[in-house]
């Protein structure tokens, strides 16, 4: 049984998260149930709470978001990829190239120590980047911190963009959950989540806990074999778990280690976000999509948080998820290669 201090901290975290989420909901921010817990968790993490979200809980939350996406997009992702495949690939490649350029510049100028920027500026694939960073002279703790700063910054900036680009109120959790809440539909959805996540994780699919249920659920829901449905409380808990998982990564220890590099990390993070947003604006001139859809599609990760924002706003979910899913696989394939190349291109400092 957890000590009383831990239980008390979790109760306090839940209460603060609920208060912030309520305020954001009243201000009509999409993904308030993700953003509120994330803000609260950052404060608790930096405050030295030492709370962590168990890994199984985070994987279960990702599986629920995969089912939510499956209900929202059904079979439209494949059609979107077929119709706009060339431009979607271009969007993905430009996003990856922009991130690589920022990483190269920051590494070249030595704004961050060693080759940390080369690994930390990658738009996704955080686990792969952190795992390989140490082998090439980068501090894995700094790379991990940089990756989660990017995720948090993307959530904040995308939520603000969605808030001010929406013409009406956010669609809300209830709408995203679907109309069917029969016990059989809920049970079938949970079974899809469990099977999809288990198979994808065993096959070592990137972000398998989310991709597996999303793909399996989309096929079954689109063909009418399964009617996807998730009760609102389950979705709210999944949103909160993802927000807590990211926010609690910002601990006092990592902040102390990275305080001198924080300006460089923020420069890298917002440079990537602004470059991707600029490309998103250009995309609206090439495709019949709105600016919100373009910004979310080009947003540099992560897949789960962007999916929550897209579903809770008025964006074209099928286009956003088509781009984000394809980019995840491209980043995991090319990110380590680009980081290695940047590491070798940067000359070693001259020692006297």
pLDDT in tens, 82-138: 777 787 888 888 888 888 888 788 777 777 766 677 777 777 666 656 666 666 666
> Residue 215, exposed/middle/buried by CB under 10 A (0-12, 13-18, 19+)?
buried
**Rounded Cα distance, 285 and 260, in Å:** 41
pLDDT at residue 197 in the model: 93
Q: Nearest 10 degrees: CA dihedral of 21, 278, 269, 321?
A: 60
Please give the domain boundaries of the chain with CATH numbers for all domains.
4-345 (1.20.1530)
Q: Which residues contact 351 (CB under 8 A, 6 or more apart)?
A: none
27 neighbors 164 (Cβ within 8 angstroms)? no
Complete DSSP assignment for 2-40: --HHHHHHHHHHHHHHHHHHHHHHHTT-TTHHHHHHHHH
**Whether residue 149 has pLDDT greater than 50:** yes
Task: For residues 255 and 156, give the distance between their C-alpha atoms in angstroms, rounded to a whole number.
Answer: 19
Question: pTM value?
Answer: 0.76
What pLDDT does 185 receive? 84
pLDDT value of residue 10: 95
Which two tokens mark 185? 């539909």
Q: 49: helix, coil or strand?
A: coil
Report the share of the chain in percent with pLDDT over 70.
Answer: 83
* Pair of tokens at residue 155: 């959530």
188-228 tens-digit pLDDT? 899 999 999 999 999 988 678 888 998 898 888 877 788 88
State whether the Cα torsion 320-322-323-325 is positive or negative: positive
Residue 302, preceding peptide bond in cis (omega within 30° of 0): yes
Please choose, from the candidates 300, 317, 347, the residue with its C-alpha nearest in 3D space to the C-alpha of residue 79. Answer: 317
Question: In sequence order, which residues have a C-beta less than 8 Å from that of residue 330 and are 6 or more positions away?
Answer: 92, 93, 96
Confidence of residue 339 (pLDDT cuts 50, 70, 90): confident
Dihedral angle of Cα 233, 204, 216, 320, to the nearest 10 degrees: 70
| pLDDT per residue as tens digits for the range 31-43 | 788 889 999 999 9
Angle ∠(150,153,158) on CA atoms, nearest 5: 120
pLDDT above 90 covers a percentage of the chain that reads 18
Mean of per-residue pLDDT scores for the chain: 80
Q: Which residues contact 233 (CB under 8 A, 6 or more apart)?
A: none
Q: Is the pLDDT of residue 16 over 70?
A: yes
At 105 the three-state DSSP class reads: helix
């Amino acid at each position: 049984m957890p000590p009383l201090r831990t239980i008390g901290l979790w109760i306090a975290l839940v209460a603060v998260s609920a208060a912030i989420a309520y305020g954001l909901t009243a201000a009509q921010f999409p993904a308030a149930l993700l953003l509120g817990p994330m803000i609260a968790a950052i404060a608790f993490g930096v405050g030295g709470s030492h709370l962590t979200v168990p890994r199984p809980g985070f994987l279960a939350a990702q599986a629920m978001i995969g089912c939510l996406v499956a209900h929202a997009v059904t079979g439209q992702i494949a059609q979107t990829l077929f119709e706009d495949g060339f431009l979607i690939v271009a969007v993905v490649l430009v996003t990856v190239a922009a991130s690589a350029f920022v990483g190269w510049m920051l590494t070249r100028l030595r704004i961050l120590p060693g080759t940390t920027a080369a690994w930390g500026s990658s738009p996704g694939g955080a686990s792969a980047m952190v795992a390989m960073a140490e082998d090439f002279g980068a501090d894995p703790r700094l790379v991990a911190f940089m990756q989660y700063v990017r995720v948090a910054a993307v959530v904040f900036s995308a939520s603000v963009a969605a808030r001010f680009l929406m013409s009406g109120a956010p669609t809300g959790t209830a709408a995203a959950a679907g109309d069917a809440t029969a016990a059989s539909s809920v049970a079938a959805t949970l079974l899809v989540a469990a099977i999809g996540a288990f198979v994808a994780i065993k096959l070592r699919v990137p972000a398998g806990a989310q991709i597996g249920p999303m793909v399996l659920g989309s096929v079954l829901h689109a063909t009418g074999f399964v009617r996807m449905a998730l009760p609102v409380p389950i979705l709210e808990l999944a949103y909160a778990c993802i927000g807590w998982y990211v926010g609690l990564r910002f601990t006092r220890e990592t902040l102390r280690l990275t305080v001198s590099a924080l300006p460089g990390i923020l420069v890298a993070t917002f440079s990537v976000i602004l470059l991707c947003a600029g490309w998103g604006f250009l995309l609206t001139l090439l495709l019949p999509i709105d600016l919100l859809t373009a910004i979310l599609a080009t947003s540099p990760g992560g897949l789960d948080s962007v999916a929550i924002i897209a579903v809770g706003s008025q964006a074209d979910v099928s286009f956003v998820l088509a781009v984000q899913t394809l980019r995840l696989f491209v980043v995991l394939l090319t990110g380590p290669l680009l980081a290695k190349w940047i590491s070798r291109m940067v000359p070693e400092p001259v020692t006297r």
